[in-house]
A and B are shown apart, each in its own frame.
Chain A
């Protein structure tokens, strides 16, 4: 009986030690190098919306680009540039029926005045149309973007757009 108790105690210690170590593991590596940087875009509001369940409903999503930076619009000026795109993951109880994006402002970098870029700066609004199942849904939407200033660019990033959607 004493042996069993000692074995059990050792087992618990081993599990506690492993749990502590696993808790310290933070994802790193090439795929996550952008995670070290401050966000170039912030989601402003709404935090909560109430819509008619089962019917396409408009929701205006407000974002802000950090001063001094720009991000590509939804229709960037080149194929290789990364478009700003809002999406909602499947299985959240809310479906993104459509999204309408504002037109980008045309800018040119000082060292290449001939090439126009289509970008968002400051505040911008994505007009989403969602279809919601009845009930409360904490939706973790995402906005993918890629930010630059006049001299350099940061890797593409995806931020979470949390919205509490109530379908009635």
Chain B
């Protein structure tokens, strides 16, 4: 009888463990499915320019509120997008290994200084997208040092945020860089750009963000 009770007890524990495992797996699966869906629904696409120019980036985020985020900047300060409500904002996703990103940075610096007095700000977001393991503090420190050096070299006057990878999903996955989103004073995305275009294109979208 005692042996039977022990068998039943262990079997019951085994079932509970199985159910617990199934519950955890189900939760994990749903989380990942939601993240994939979010990225898919926000992922833009390049379409040919009818005028024969460079391909045009169509983002599903256009006309929608820019996904909220809070990130730590290169100086260790917490920066939230919500803090910039009332200003036009250019969210510029870039990476230290991205040569085209570095070409456009001087344009962003110049345009930021030109339009800052009208209520415009740029938020640079470092999005390395690399294979650093979570907790790789040496790797992260190296990345941060590279960003800090770049900020200093280019005399970047706007906040430079770290760990853009953590917000890549709501912004469409960020499969290519540079990617920029232009947000108006109400927090709505009015334009998006993928890849290196031109200073004129960027300025046009900044004006749109300032006036809409």
Contacts and interface: CB of A to CB of B under 8 A. Distances in A.
B97 A81 contact: yes
Given A115-B99, A148-B99, A156-B131, A17 B28 contact: no
A74 B39 CA distance: 33
Contact of B14 (A11, A30, A33, A150): A11
Contact of A30 (B28, B166, B178): B166
A25 B32 contact: yes
B11 A11 contact: yes
B25 A33 contact: no
B7 interface: yes
Given A30-B166, A36-B173, A109-B100, A152 B36 contact: no
B166 A148 contact: no
Q: Which of A3, A4, A80, A81 has the most CB of B within 10 A?
A: A80
B35 A28 contact: yes
Contacts of A161: none
Contact of B196 (A22, A111, A155): A111
B12 interface: yes
A21 B175 contact: no
Nearest to A80: B96
B113 to A, nearest CB: 21
A153 B18 contact: no
A4 B177 contact: no
Contact of A24 (B29, B128, B130, B178): B29
Contacts of A67: none
For chain A, give the interface size range.
Answer: 35 or more
Most buried by A among B19, B35, B101: B19
Interface in B93-148: 95-101, 103, 128-134, 146
A26 interface: yes
B121 to A, nearest CB: 24
Nearest to B97: A82
B29 A148 contact: no
A151 B54 contact: yes
Contacts of B21: 18, 22
Interface in A137-168: 144, 146, 148, 150-156, 158
Interface string A1-32: 00110011011001101100110111111110
B11 A7 contact: yes
B184 to A, nearest CB: 25
B65 interface: no
A92 B134 CA distance: 25
Interface string B156-174: 0000000001101100011
A153 B132 CA distance: 18
Interface string B25-39: 110110010011001
Interface-central residue, A25, A33, A153, by most chain B CB under 10 Å: A153
Interface of A: 3-4, 7-8, 10-11, 14-15, 17-18, 21-22, 24-31, 33-34, 36-37, 78-82, 109, 111-112, 115, 117, 144, 146, 148, 150-156, 158
Interface of B: 4, 7-8, 11-12, 14-15, 18-19, 21-22, 25-26, 28-29, 32, 35-36, 39, 54, 95-101, 103, 128-134, 146, 150, 165-166, 168-169, 173-178, 194-198
Ranked 4 nearest A-B pairs via Cβ:
A155-B129, A30-B165, A14-B18, A152-B195
